[in-house]
C-alpha cells in the first residue's frame, strides 16, 4: 500500500520531446481540441498505446485462448465509443490519439452546440455548468461513453440551462 496522496502517473512522455514533427503535431492537437497542456495529449496517447498493446498480445495467442479476452476488449472499446459494435481485433490496432480526443467531454460539449468554442466548452465544464446524466462533471478530460453521449446537457441549476430553455420556447 502506498500513500493515497501519491498517485501513479497516468502518462508516459515522449522519448524524444524536441523533434520538430512531434512538436508541430502536438501544437495542432492542442489548438484543435482546446487542451491545456501537452500532458493531456500524452495521457490520451498512453491510453491508446495500452489498448493497442492488449490487442497485439491477444493476436499473438492461439484462437481458443483469446476468445474471452478478445470479446471483453472489443466490448470495452465499443462502450468507449472508439469502434463500431462488429469491429475486429485488427481495428483496435488502427486507433489513433485523435479518436480518443474526440470522446473527451470538452469536445462532445462543443460538438453538441452547448458552447460557442472549444475553449468555452472547457470553461463551462470546469465551472460546473455541464452534467452527464444529471451528474455534474468538472473534468474536461472525462471520456464520454457511447451510452452517455445523449445525456450530456447543462447542469440542473446552471443559468445556461434557463437561457437555452427560454430560447427554445421563443422558437
Q: Is residue 162 part of a domain?
A: yes
What residues contact residue 148 under an 8 Å CB cut-off, 6+ apart?
Answer: 132, 133
Q: Do 27 and 79 share a domain, yes or no? A: yes
Q: Is residue 125 part of a domain?
A: yes
pLDDT in tens, 5-61: 778 889 999 999 899 999 999 999 999 999 999 999 999 999 999 999 999 999 999
Q: Do 42 and 87 share a domain, yes or no? A: yes
- Of 110, 96, 95, give the one whose Cα is nearest residue 144: 110
Q: Do 84 and 110 share a domain, yes or no? A: no
Distance between CA atoms of residues 66 and 155, nearest Å: 43
pLDDT in tens, 52-100: 999 999 999 999 999 999 999 999 999 999 999 999 999 999 999 999 9
Q: Do 75 and 88 share a domain, yes or no? A: yes
Q: Do 94 and 113 share a domain, yes or no? A: no
Contact between 105 and 142 under an 8 Å Cβ cutoff? The reply is yes
Give the total number of structural domains in the chain: 2
Q: Which domain holds residue 160?
A: 105-170
Distance between CA atoms of residues 88 and 100, nearest Å: 18
Dihedral sign computed on CA atoms, order 18, 21, 22, 24:
positive
- Of 57, 67, 58, 53, give the one whose Cα is nearest residue 95: 53
What residues contact residue 58 under an 8 Å CB cut-off, 6+ apart?
Answer: 66, 69, 70, 73, 89
What are the residues facing 132 on neighbouring strands?
A: 135, 152
Q: Is residue 122 part of a domain?
A: yes
pLDDT in tens, 142-165: 999 999 999 999 999 999 999 999
Which CATH number belongs to the domain containing residue 124 in this structure?
Answer: 3.10.290.10
Distance between CA atoms of residues 119 and 111, nearest Å: 12
Q: Do 96 and 109 share a domain, yes or no? A: no
Global confidence as pTM: 0.92
Amino acid at each position: 500500500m502506498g500513500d493515497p496522496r501519491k498517485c501513479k502517473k497516468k502518462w508516459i512522455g515522449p522519448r524524444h520531446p524536441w523533434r520538430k514533427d512531434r512538436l508541430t503535431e502536438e501544437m495542432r492537437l492542442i489548438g484543435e481540441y482546446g487542451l491545456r497542456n501537452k500532458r493531456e495529449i500524452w495521457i490520451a496517447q498512453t491510453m491508446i498505446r495500452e489498448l493497442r498493446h492488449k490487442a497485439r498480445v491477444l493476436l499473438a495467442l492461439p484462437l481458443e485462448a483469446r476468445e474471452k479476452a478478445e470479446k471483453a476488449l472489443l466490448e470495452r472499446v465499443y462502450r468507449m465509443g472508439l469502434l463500431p459494435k462488429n469491429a475486429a481485433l485488427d481495428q483496435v490496432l488502427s486507433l489513433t490519439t485523435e479518436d480518443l480526443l474526440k470522446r473527451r467531454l470538452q469536445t462532445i460539449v462543443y460538438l453538441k452546440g452547448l458552447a460557442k468554442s472549444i475553449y468555452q466548452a472547457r470553461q463551462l465544464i470546469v465551472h460546473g455548468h455541464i452534467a452527464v446524466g444529471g451528474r455534474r462533471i468538472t473534468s474536461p478530460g472525462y471520456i464520454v461513453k457511447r451510452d452517455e453521449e445523449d445525456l450530456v446537457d447543462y447542469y440542473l441549476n446552471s443559468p445556461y440551462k434557463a437561457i437555452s430553455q427560454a430560447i427554445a420556447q421563443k422558437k
